[in-house]
Structure 1
Amino acid sequence: MITSQTLRQESEQPRKCFVVGPIGDPHAAHGSPEREAYEHHLGIFEQVIAPACEKYGITAVRADGIAHAGDINEQICRHVVESHLVVADVSSGNPNVMYELGLRHITGKPTIHIGEAGQLPFDIASIRTIRYQRTRSHLAGARKEIESALEVGLRDGFELLTPARVLRGLQSGDGPASVSEIGDGANREDEDSPGLLDDFAVIEDGLDDMTADMEAITKTIETIGSLTEQSGAEMLDLSEANVPMNARLAAVARYAETISAPAGELNTVAAAFAERMVTMDSGVRAALGLIEMTPPDERGEGTEEFLEQLMSLDEAAQESLAQICSFGTSAGEMARMSRYLRKPVKEISAAVQQLTSAITRMGEWAAKARALAHSSAT
C-alpha cells in the first residue's frame, strides 16, 4: 500500500489535485443564493476534498486559490489538463464545470467525480460518482470514499473513464493507467501513439452527422419555399380573378396540407441537430482548448482540416437559419389568415427556436476556430 510518506518521497514536487466545481460569489450579500453556493462548496472543499487528498500528500487547490497572476481562464485550463489528479463536483451540471470536465476527460488522466445526491446531471450518470448529502455524517462518508478511491488508484492505477476510452480508441478490456504514468502526468508519447486530432476522430464523426443534418434541413427549407411560391402564385391568380372567399380558403387549406409533412420533418431534423449539438458541445470546446494550448508548429496536419470543418459548418448553418427565419416570419403572417396553417407554422416555429439556440453555440465554435486558424497562419 502506498502511504502518504512514500508518496512524498517519490517526487520533490508535491502532487497536485485541481478541484473543479461551482465557486459561488464570496462578495455576494449574506443569504443570497450566490453567497450560499460559495459557502456550501467551500465547505465541501475544506471538509471533504482537501483532507482526503492531504492524507496521501496531495495538495488540493480550487480556481480561486490559484496564486499566480495572469489570465485566469488560461490558468484554469492548464490546471485541468496538467494536474496529476482532478476532483470534480458535478452537482447541478454547472456549464463551466461540464466544459472543464470534458477537457479533462480527453486527457485520460485520473479524475474523481463527486456530487450532491439528487443534483447529478443525467448525461454523466453512467460514470461512478461519490454522492454526498449536506449532513456532517454524509460529508464524512464522502471524504472516506475519496480516500478509498485514492488508495486504490495509487496502488493499482486509475482506470480511464469511458469518454477517454472512446477518444483514445481503447477497448473496455485495456489495462488501467499505472501509478508511474500518474506520477509523470501520463503524457509520455511514442512515435506511434495517437496525436491530438486522432483523439478527435469521434468528434469529427459527430460533425459529419451534423453536416448531414444541416443538408437535410436546407433541402427541406427549399421544399417548403418552393411550395410556398406555388401557393403564392395561386393565391394571386385567385385574387385577381376575384373568386369567392371559400375558394381562396380551400387553396390555403391545400397549401397547409402540402407543407405539413415537410414542416414536421424540418422540426424533427432540427431537434436531432440541437440534441447532437448538446452532446458535442463540451467535446468540441475541449478539443479547441487543447488545440489552443498546443504550439502551432506541433498541432499536426489534421488540425487545419478540423478547424475548417467547424467554420464551414457554421457558414452553412447561418445561411439556413437566415432562410428559415425569413420564411418563419412570412408563414407566421399567413397563419393569421386561416387556422389550417397553424399546425405547420407551429412546427416551423419550433424548428427555428431549436436551430437558433444550437447555431449560437456553433457560432462560438467557429469564432474560436477562426482565431486558432489565424494564429497558425501567422
Structure 2
Amino acid sequence: MITTLAVRDEQGGSPSCFVIGPIGNSYAPHGSPEREAYEHHLRIFEQVIAPACERHGITPLRADGIAHAGDINEQICRHVIQSDLVIADVSGGNPNVMYELGLRHITGKPTIHIGEHGQLPFDIASIRTIHYHPSRSGLADARGIIENALEVGLRDGFEPLTPARVLRGIQTADGTPALPGSEEEQGEEAPGLLDEFAAIEDGLEQVTEDMDAIAKAIETIGALTEQHGAEISQLGQANVPMSARLAAVARYAESIGAPAEELKDTAHAFAGRMTSLDSGVRAALGLIEITPRDEWGEGTEEFLRQLLGLEAAAQEGMAGLGGFGTAVDGLVGLSRHLRKPVKNISSAVRQVTSVTACIEDWAGAARTLIQRTAG
C-alpha cells in the first residue's frame, strides 16, 4: 500500500514551492537560441506554473528569482532539498535539471513533473509527467491539469514517485514509509548517506554483469559471422547456384538467431536498469557533494571509484559497438532470413548506446569529487 506525503508547513500556511527547469539567458542577443530558450521557459512559468500555484495560494520560485546573496549553486540545492514541493520542467533533459531532479528524488518529497510533448528525456519517460503543447490552448490545458494535481495533493497528499520509493525503502514500525526528517528517521535506525545508496551498488553490479553478457553475445555473433562469412564468400567466388548461397545465408541466420535474441533481451534489461539507476546515482552524487568530507565514511570513496571502474568496463566492453551495429545493418538486404536477427541486434545496439552516456556522466562527477578531496 502506497501512502501519501502531505504538504503543509508547521504553522498551517501555504507550502513552499521551488521550480526547476531550463532558464536560458535573458541577456543573450535577441533571436539567439539562449534568448529564445529564456523567453520560452519564462512563458511556461508565467502562463502555466505560476497561475496554477497561485490558484491555491502558493507562490512558486525559480532560481533566477532568489533574492538573497550567496553561492547560487548552494542556494539551489537547498531549495531543491528543503522545499515542500518541487515542480520540474524536464523538457529536453537539461543536465542541470536532471541533476537537481535526482537530488530531489532521493528526499522522497513531493515532485510534479511537467514536460513539452515529444521532448521528454528517455531516462525518466516512464515517470508520471504532465505533458504540455506550446500552443495557447495547450498551455491552458496544462495549467488546468497542474491546478487539479495541486488540489488533490494538498487535500489528500502527494504519492511519492517510484524513484523515491525504490531508493529510500524506509519503513516505520507500522509498515508505513517514514517522512524525511521525521522522528522515526532521526532515531538510531535512521538511514545515513551510505544507506541511501547501498542499494544502488547492487544495481551497479548487475549493470556490470549485463555489460559482460552483452560483450559475450557480440563476441559470439562476431565469431559466427566470420565463420559463415568465409563460407558465403567462397561460394560466391566458386560461382555456385544462387540457391546454394541462399542456403548458406539461411544457415548463418539460424546460427545467430539465438545469440541475437539473447543480446536483445539483455540490452533491454540493461537499458531498464540504467533508467532506474540514473536518478538515484545522480542524487547520491549530489548528497555526497553537499556532505562534509569528514562525514563521508570509507565506503563513500569506494562508491565513487566503483563508478570510475564502471566507466572503464563500459569503454572496454562497448568498444566498437556502433561499428558492429552498422556492419550488421548492411547484411539485412542479403536475405529475408536475416531480417529478424539483424533487427534484434540493431535494437540492442541502439538501446545500449542510448543509455551508456549516463555512465560517463556518473564517472565525470565521481572524478571531480575524488579530485576535490585529493586537493
TM-score by length of structure 1 reads 0.72
Q: What corresponds to 1:195 in structure 2?
A: 192
Give the alignment partner of residue 272 of structure 2, picking from 271, 275, 289: 275
Give the alignment partner of residue 261 of structure 1, picking from 255, 258, 262: 258
Q: What corresponds to 2:327 in structure 1?
A: 330
Q: Tell me, yes or no, if the aligned pair for 1:80 and 1:100 is still in contact at 8 Å.
A: yes
| Cα distance change, pair 126–33 in 1 and its aligned pair in 2 (3 A) | closer
Give the SS at the match of 1:251: helix
Q: What corresponds to 1:77 in structure 2?
A: 77
Whole-angstrom distance in 2 between the partners of 1:347 and 1:116? 31
| Cα distance change, pair 274–338 in 1 and its aligned pair in 2 (3 A) | same
Q: What corresponds to 2:126 in structure 1?
A: 123
Instruction: Tell me whether 1:363 sits opposite 2:360 in the alignment.
Output: yes
Q: Tell me, yes or no, if the aligned pair for 1:20 and 1:100 is still in contact at 8 Å.
A: yes
Instruction: Tell me whether 1:209 sits opposite 2:206 in the alignment.
Output: yes
After superposing the two structures, state which structure 1 stretch, 247-256 or 95-104, moved more.
Answer: 95-104
For structure 1, which runs of at least 5 residues remain unmatched after alignment? 9-13
Instruction: Tell me whether 1:134 sits opposite 2:140 in the alignment.
Output: yes
| Cα distance change, pair 152–256 in 1 and its aligned pair in 2 (3 A) | closer
| Cα distance change, pair 191–321 in 1 and its aligned pair in 2 (3 A) | same
Q: Tell me, yes or no, if the aligned pair for 2:178 and 2:185 is still in contact at 8 Å.
A: no
CA offsets, 1:336-362, max 9 Å, x none?
Answer: 555543443332222222211111222
Give the SS at the match of 1:373: helix
Whole-angstrom distance in 1 between the partners of 2:15 and 2:84? 8
CA offsets, 1:188-226, max 9 Å, x none?
Answer: 856653221211133223223222221211121121122
Instruction: Tell me whether 1:290 sits opposite 2:287 in the alignment.
Output: yes
Q: What corresponds to 1:374 in structure 2?
A: 371
Q: What does 1:1-378 align with in structure 2 at a 5 Å threshold?
A: 17-21=17-21, 23=23, 35-49=39-53, 52=56, 60-67=60-67, 72-81=72-81, 83-89=82-88, 97=97, 99-108=99-108, 110-111=109-110, 113=112, 123-125=126-128, 134=140, 138=144, 145=151, 149=154, 163-171=163-171, 173-174=175-176, 177=179, 181=181, 189=186, 192-235=189-232, 238=235, 242=238, 244-246=240-242, 247-378=244-375
Whole-angstrom distance in 2 between the partners of 1:244 and 1:360? 47
Give the SS at the match of 2:294: helix
- In structure 2, give the amino acid aligned to 1:367: G
Whole-angstrom distance in 2 between the partners of 1:117 and 1:332? 33
Give the SS at the match of 1:304: helix
Whole-angstrom distance in 2 between the partners of 1:250 and 1:73? 64
Q: Tell me, yes or no, if the aligned pair for 1:159 and 1:177 is still in contact at 8 Å.
A: no
Instruction: Please report how far the alpha carbon of residue 326 of structure 1 lies from its aligned counterpart in structure 2 after TM superposition.
Output: 3.6
| Cα distance change, pair 70–301 in 1 and its aligned pair in 2 (3 A) | same
How well do the aligned residues superpose, as a CA RMSD in angstroms? 4.5
After superposing the two structures, state which structure 1 stretch, 135-144 or 348-357, moved more.
Answer: 135-144
| Cα distance change, pair 53–336 in 1 and its aligned pair in 2 (3 A) | same
Q: What corresponds to 1:11 in structure 2?
A: none
| Cα distance change, pair 93–191 in 1 and its aligned pair in 2 (3 A) | farther
Instruction: Please report how far the alpha carbon of residue 316 of structure 1 lies from its aligned counterpart in structure 2 after TM superposition.
Output: 2.2
Whole-angstrom distance in 2 between the partners of 1:340 and 1:4? 64
Give the SS at the match of 1:134: helix
Q: Tell me, yes or no, if the aligned pair for 1:88 and 1:101 is still in contact at 8 Å.
A: no
| Cα distance change, pair 74–344 in 1 and its aligned pair in 2 (3 A) | farther
CA offsets, 1:282-324, max 9 Å, x none?
Answer: 2211111111222333212222232232222222222232243
Q: Tell me, yes or no, if the aligned pair for 2:260 and 2:345 is still in contact at 8 Å.
A: yes
After superposing the two structures, state which structure 1 stretch, 249-258 or 132-141, moved more.
Answer: 132-141
* Identity, % of aligned positions: 50
- In structure 1, give the amino acid aligned to 2:112: H
- Aligned length in residues: 349
TM-score by length of structure 2 reads 0.72
Instruction: Please report how far the alpha carbon of residue 259 of structure 1 lies from its aligned counterpart in structure 2 after TM superposition.
Output: 1.0
Whole-angstrom distance in 2 between the partners of 1:205 and 1:5? 38
Give the SS at the match of 1:123: coil
Q: Tell me, yes or no, if the aligned pair for 2:171 and 2:177 is still in contact at 8 Å.
A: no
Whole-angstrom distance in 2 between the partners of 1:279 and 1:140? 25
- In structure 1, give the amino acid aligned to 2:51: Q
Give the SS at the match of 1:107: coil
